[in-house]
Chains A and B, each alone.
Chain A
Amino acid sequence: MSGILNSSIGRKFAMALSAFFLMIFVLQHFAINLLSVLSPDTFNEVSHFMGTFWVIQYVIQPILIIGVIFHFVMGFVLEIKNNKANGVKYAKNNGAANSTWMSRNMIWSGGFILAFLVIHFIDFWIPEINTKYIVGDMSGMHNGEFRYFHELQEKFVPIWRVALYCVGFVFLALHLLHGFDSAFQSVGANNKYTKGLKGFGKAYAIIIPVGFIFIALFHHFNH
């Protein structure tokens, strides 16, 4: 067990586990964001709960941060190892003949998602941490009202930010189009359910990012 991360299969297993965790996180993030379109009041209440409940703040959030860091670091480590395993580059290589663009470019889609995450953290997470833990305001209120919905709307006023987020979500879709069923294959799940799972994975990879894009555009045009 101790040396599992030293083996190629152990590393892909760990990569898959962190991917499952992140995919569940993205799903719940999307579900909560969707509330901002359906019911701003509910969105405010759920946001306040997520932002103040100790289990989420002090247990789930650190696990999430570790999961994100692990997934990115391991992704880059594997890329370096894989490049080392390659010999001289082919003069002519027809990768499109046997694999999808998404599967061959996970490092690039992942890299762009990382860049997007940095922007996203600067936009939302760092101000939130600052308000709650540096300023010390855990009330979630501003001028007698919950601040979450208002802050979200304000963020999506500039069109450049909306465009930037849309590009980020496109890369998320490209990453998930390969990543979803790749994670199942990595944990050894390739059986009679795989075909159905691949269909579900494609739906997940498209619906969630398109949904995020819709939410960003909705708030931009309904401000």
Chain B
Amino acid sequence: MNLTLKIWRQKDSKAKGQMVDYKVTDISEHMSFLEMMDVLNEQLVNSGEEPVAFDHDCREGICGMCSMYINGEAHGPDRGVTTCQLHMRMFNDGDTITIEPFRAAAFPVIKDLVVDRMAFERIQQAGGYISVNTSGNTQDANSIPISKHAADEAMDAATCIGCGACVASCKNSSAMLFVGAKVSQYALLPQGQVEAADRVQNMVAQMDLEGFGNCTNTGACEVECPKGISLENIARMNREYLSATLKG
């Protein structure tokens, strides 16, 4: 495949970026999107140009690092995949592909396609955990009865890899699918009940502080989420938050 790539290039967080056109040739349809980017970077290095900076780590859809906005969609046109799992067979020979970083005021660009997603870490630190005394006499989690239904739903929520596709896809740059998943995974389990009210209030407060937008229920996040996190998690977070706040 021969492709034209329109890629956002930005020297650093302060520089003004712009779209730059590149040509890549002999791309195999079996390559992943990141492998295609590797080919481009090799080409750029060989010609003495600065390679395109982009986030990646595990390259098997688990770490949530890859974060490109490809042809107007987070992680590209395929469904249920991260950019590293996106294959070039989704494109046609001669295509022009637009590649941009995830956009949100809370996700500032560091360089080229790399954005700072530490806001998600700070939201997690605000309450996305349970406090367990690990002094050596910790209770075996399997000794606490949990219904199959609750365990399944909590596991579904816990599959969120925090990639930020929900924020990037949302017209309001809202992080509610991410926060909803993190709140839900504990709210559904007995271990999470003790800190449930503080958790949801602190995580939502941090989310608002980070400057994410307000959810208007377009559902774009659910469609673009590589892990299929459901909007039900946002509804659960709303219930948890309202209940915690109204009870005082």
Chain B nearest CB, measured from A200 CB (Å): 17
Please, how many angstroms separate the alpha-carbon atoms of A185 and B212 in the complex? 19
A12 touches B (CB below 8 Å): yes
Please determine whether B236 and A188 come into contact, CB atoms closer than 8 angstroms: yes
Please determine whether A103 and B72 come into contact, CB atoms closer than 8 angstroms: no
B248 touches A (CB below 8 Å): yes
B172 neighbours in A (Cβ, 8 Å)? 82, 85-86
B211 touches A (CB below 8 Å): yes
Tell me the dominant secondary structure on chain A's binding face.
helix
Chain A nearest CB, measured from B26 CB (Å): 25
How many residues from B make CB contacts under 8 Å with A?
53
A13 neighbours in B (Cβ, 8 Å)? 238, 242
Please choose the segment from B99-107, B135-143, B154-162 that sits at the chain A interface, where 4 or more of its residues have CB less than 8 A away.
B99-107
Please choose the segment from A44-52, A87-95, A127-135, A148-156 that sits at the chain B interface, where 4 or more of its residues have CB less than 8 A away.
A87-95
B163 touches A (CB below 8 Å): no
Chain B nearest CB, measured from A101 CB (Å): 10
Q: Which residues of B (186-231) have their CB < 8 Å from a CB of A?
A: 204-205, 207-208, 211-220, 223-224, 231
Please, how many angstroms separate the alpha-carbon atoms of A103 and B231 in the complex? 15
Residue of A nearest to B232 (CB): A190
How many residues from A make CB contacts under 8 Å with B?
42
Residue of B nearest to A88 (CB): B103
Q: Pick from B169, B208, B217: contact of A103, CB below 8 A.
A: B217
A82-B172, A97-B77, A185-B217 known; A90 and B72 CB under 8 Å?
yes
A98 touches B (CB below 8 Å): yes
Please, how many angstroms separate the alpha-carbon atoms of A7 and B69 in the complex? 29
A13-B242, A103-B218, A104-B218 known; A97 and B73 CB under 8 Å?
yes
Please, how many angstroms separate the alpha-carbon atoms of A122 and B19 in the complex? 50
Please determine whether B105 and A10 come into contact, CB atoms closer than 8 angstroms: no
Q: Pick from A6, A87, A99, A185: contact of B104, CB below 8 A.
A: A87
A189 touches B (CB below 8 Å): yes
Please determine whether B100 and A91 come into contact, CB atoms closer than 8 angstroms: yes
